[in-house]
Chains A and B, each alone.
Chain A
């Protein structure tokens, strides 16, 4: 007996007695369902503003709803999306962008250059690339409805790459009235011009999010879909996000065919799925996600460069990665400062990370550095898969090093509050924590914020490393990829000497779909071009 015949049969008895009119409805339901994609996201969609928050789940939501002037292809080349093209004049100081014909927001209004100007102004306040561009902007204006112009104080070769960067937050275009919202306040309307339209009436945070195909969306006519570039063809009439927080329930729902796509199953559940012929397990992104061990540079012992360096021989990246993805070496790779497989990844100074691993060597280096048994407080979560697994390996490593370790395991919400404390350990501060990032964030020095060495303004840990800042500035001004790669090698050498953090490896994040889905664009949870065969 199957589900349809259990209660469905009971329901059919009175219905059949009353009328036969329900029969056509039932027969129509099947093809309609086939045009609906049911997806379980990695987390609850709590905020709808991709500029206000940098949560990845909000980024994924935003790529359904919004569009950008330039997309980024998988080779990290910017490609036109909303823009028909651009011209560069005045030795790289004046950039004029022209919008494609026929672009419309979901409320029916045409997309105008003024909307783009307001959106980019808001984006520049929050995105690391944008923050670099903003002080260089002499003028950002709409020349007419279809053209906008950046006039810069000096040439900035990475302007196009910055606009196309898919990292949080991407340069999403919103209507001017919405984009005028303070970037530190949340927008109150979700109106984009992307391939799917958000359905606010059906939004139930913590449970359900729905989108419908935007019939007015016109995919660009050339190129192939690649990351956020190329034609974005919506094959489903409706996308439903079912927020299922319990991993076992989400797994059972995918196996039962109640959902089509489970974004981020744990390694144990992936094993289960691999035994099911109806389910495909594959990397969501061809690039791996970097993970790091971060130090607090304000207080002993990790305010001492030699003590940070002393830990390098003890870190075995395969231990950390095995804890996240299991022992299959195909699931992870070693890494330096930049995401493996990206143009800036290099082997400069990698002996420090990939040479012979030795706890004894680290112990000796700690003694030489004058480590005086100061307390080391490791903070970490128990409720987020990757950081929780990384933290457990780090606890083991510090125990083997016989340091004065105090580890505090709590929920992620408490960790991210606690890591903001600049106090010493005895006043509730911290010494180190571990976390992981999206591949795109570590693809270059702009997105790699733990690499910043700008002291009090830097990311949690607050390292002061002027040389890294100089190299970062030089990279922004590098005229071509060769120059960028030279600087990337120098950045990596400096970082592995100064040790703002220790890279602990990069792992492939796996996703699981019903086998009847095809055409998924690798990168993150992107919904265009995906179809049911």
Chain B
């Protein structure tokens, strides 16, 4: 398995290279000019030209791309055109809120969705099953930002139980940290819960039809043992796969959720950078997201061996 893991890690290198080329090319041909954004509305065209030249944005594509790749290989993601801060520093400033939001959402979603799916499968056709499926449809259909606004209105404005917006660092205390993340996690987790619950239900229904489940029942195994010990473990591979795929969903959702709840995370950094054409920041963040996604998929692949002993690498 170690050799497999090493091979997979090495395989990420060409993937990342293609991502890098794609992102750089896309930004090069996309409309927009950071020099014009910097100069502001009152600047003359001459001012804009001089700022563009001072930023090196008037140099040919290959020169800029080559320089960027060389710097990346040397661990330097460049400096933000606007803030003059290193991209790595800006990512460091923003990574904690995003990781916090995603981890909390993941924990919340898995701990709610998996039991929901299992129970729905167990009680197939009952009102519980219909309620779970109804919730899943709702989770898929209602946009994250609508859920966010509704939650903020009820729990922050009307009830005053939780803050409307913002983020408190974990080092400043667990409860202040949690207080700021509850509503965003629920908002972001809705679609994720729906997805995992549906897959869990479908897979469990299939597993519960298997002969070995009937045998377990015949031998007098308890319902809880059958569901969570025998059936769920065998249904785990597709569920874990969906959880992995859902990370991309979370990354996309985090961009919206962070904007709605004013959380200073990587999602907002990405949107802000795109709007003002801060090329080094966009490139750095997209590369990071791609790397995380590749890594998560690797971890998911390796996790299969824990649930299914027949899988060997």
Contacts and interface: CB of A to CB of B under 8 A. Distances in A.
A, B bound:
yes
Interface of A: 1-3, 6-8, 10-11, 44, 46-48, 52-56, 126, 167-168, 182, 184-186, 188, 204-208, 242-246, 248-250, 252-253, 255-256, 258, 383, 410-414, 416-418, 420, 435, 437, 441, 449, 457-460, 462
Contacts of A3: 156, 160-163, 179
Contacts of B296: none
A207 B38 contact: no
Among all A-B residue pairs, the 7 with the closest Cβ atoms:
A207-B264, A54-B40, A417-B33, A11-B175, A46-B82, A54-B42, A416-B36
A410 B274 CA distance: 13
A435 B31 CA distance: 19
Contacts of B157: 252, 255-256
Nearest to A204: B93
Contact of B276 (A11, A168, A413): A413
Contact of B31 (A46, A168, A204, A417): A417
B173 A53 contact: no
Residue among B165, B259, B264, B277 with the highest chain A CB neighbour number at 10 A? B165
A244 B259 CA distance: 8
Nearest to B46: A457
B240 to A, nearest CB: 32
Main secondary structure of the interface of B (DSSP, over half): helix
A291 B111 CA distance: 54
Given A53-B40, A416-B37, 14 more contacts: A1-B159, A52-B51, A184-B50, A252-B152, A252-B157, A252-B164, A253-B165, A258-B166, A411-B32, A413-B37, A413-B276, A417-B32, A418-B31, A459-B44
B46 to A, nearest CB: 6
Contacts of A48: 83
B152 A249 contact: yes
Nearest to B148: A249
B231 to A, nearest CB: 36
Nearest to B145: A246
A436 to B, nearest CB: 9
A11 B44 CA distance: 56
Interface residues of B, number: 60
8 contacts: A11-B173, A126-B47, A185-B54, A207-B262, A207-B268, A252-B165, A253-B165, A417-B31
A389 B175 CA distance: 43
B286 to A, nearest CB: 16
A258 B163 contact: yes
A458 B44 contact: yes
Given A184-B50, A416-B37, A256 B268 contact: no
A167 B41 CA distance: 12
B43 interface: yes
A256 B42 contact: no
Residue among B41, B94, B152 with the highest chain A CB neighbour number at 10 A? B41
Contact of A420 (B36, B259, B261, B264): B36
Contact of B262 (A168, A242, A256, A417): A242
B254 to A, nearest CB: 14
B95 interface: no
A243 B259 CA distance: 10
